[in-house]
Structure 1
Amino acid sequence: MHKHNCNILPLGVNDMTTAAAICAAAMNENPLHIKVFGANPDLRQRRLRRMFPALLTYVKRKGELYGAFIDGNLIGVLGMLPPNTCQPTLRDLIQLLPRMISASSPLGGLRLAIWLGTWARIDPKQPHWHLGPLAIAPQWQYKGVGTQMIEFTINQCAAEHLYLETDKQSNVDLYQRFGFKTLATPTILGIPSWVMIRST
């Protein structure tokens, strides 16, 4: 693996369209996204591109949203919600859920609510930074960018617990290298998933 050094910088409003497209492309083959947004990859991509602007706007408003840049080009996205903010308020839900659910079919919207509700119930009580999304453009994956983004997160939150969820075993293997441990392994809509925490 050839490592490409990247600059990790806060994302601006003008970056949001590109950031949403990166998230959609990076996560198009995630098992839960296939289950919720449909088996057709092109349709799923369009639906994800409609969903992610709402999610990224929420993360930017409530927490911190960064981009990984190489030669001035955005190639990765990292969201971080600070302690005691990762559970949306009623106002947040009123603003966020209709935009996210409308990105899919009615059945997909129901499945999305089940998925997010399951993870929300597991969210630990102790204060923690909640990571996500963490997405890298497909052509830049497996080139050291994800490692740099995780290292950046650990350095930013050195005194705090870090928490995340994933539905990919390959991500679990990566996060374990950085000291994350599996907290629970809920099966959601028949899909295995992992919630992980890194203690200080």
Structure 2
Amino acid sequence: MSVVTVRRITPAEMDEASRIVGLAFALNPSNLAIAGGNRDKAARIMEHAARTLKLGNTASHVLVAEREGELAGVLKAAEWPHCQMTVREKIKSVPSQVRTMGFGLPRALKVVGGRAKHEPHKPHWHIGPIAVHPNQQGYGIGSALLTAFLADVDRQQVPAFLQADVDRNVVLYERFGFRVVSQEAILGINTSFMWRDAR
């Protein structure tokens, strides 16, 4: 098995990292629901969101994983209270979101709003997205990203929070000490909200 190296992202890697997020989430159930079942549109929506709202946000802490000299995965996290967009940021993002999502925007707002209700109102790191290029899955890249980031979190003695709408991801996160603290069906997709106590 090849060595996986985890480090902070560089500005030059933003486009490729955003592309990986789009590809990794093309079949995500919530993104497919937003995109009306269109896989290509789901990938475009998530790539755009990664570039403009997630990875490109100044409050974001972004790690990348390399395997065999190629970018293979991305993890984004933000520290509370900067893990949710401000009203000003939301308003500023509307024109580009309308261009990218079109008729999917109301569904996207429902997902964002539904998830925001579960955000803990106390100090924590909010992790997500965690994305692995489809061609690089199965090599422990997601685990390497989580291990590296949670080591930093543990040094800070701060809790962590994330959400998952895929059952196998819930199982993975439980191995890292997360537990499901609430669930909600959003657009008919069961979403688990998971908390990891400070270590």
TM-score (norm 2): 0.91
Residue number among 87, 101, 118 corresponding to 2:114 in the alignment: 118
Which among 36, 39, 63 is matched to residue 60 of structure 2? 63
2:55 and 2:76 in contact (8 A); partners too: no
Q: Tell me how far 1:49 sits from its aligned partner.
A: 3.0
Distance 1:176 1:45 in 2: 27
Give the 5 Å matches for 1:13-162: 13-59=11-57, 61-106=58-103, 108-158=104-154, 159-162=157-160
**TM superposition shift of 1:131:** 0.3
Are the counterparts in 2 of residues 7 and 69 from structure 1 also a CA contact under 8 Å? yes
Paired residues in the alignment total 196
Residue identity opposite 1:148 in structure 2:
A
- Cross-structure match for 2:181: 183
Whole-Å separation in 2 of the counterparts to 1:13 and 1:98:
24
* Matching residue within 184, 194, 197 for 1:196: 194
Instruction: State the 1:101 CA deviation.
Output: 4.1
Q: Per-residue CA shift, 1:28-68, capped at 9, x if unaligned?
A: 11100110012122333333333321123444x11211111
- Report the residue type matching 2:111 in the other structure: W
Cα distance, 1:70–1:187 mapped onto 2, change above 3 Å: same
Aligned equivalents of 1:82, 1:198: Cα separation in 2: 14
Alpha carbon RMSD of aligned pairs, Å?
A: 1.6
CA contact (8 A) 2:127 2:160 kept: yes
Instruction: Find the residue that maps to 2:77 and give its secondary structure.
Output: strand
**Is the 8 Å Cα contact of residues 37 and 105 (structure 1) preserved in structure 2?**
no
Return the TM-score normalized by structure 1. Answer: 0.91
Q: Is the 8 A contact 2:64 2:73 kept in 1?
A: yes
Structure 2 unaligned runs (5+)?
A: none
Contact 2:64 2:74 in 1 (8 A): yes
Change (3 A) 1:84 1:46: closer
**Contact (CA 8 Å) 1:11, 1:66: kept in 2 or not?**
yes
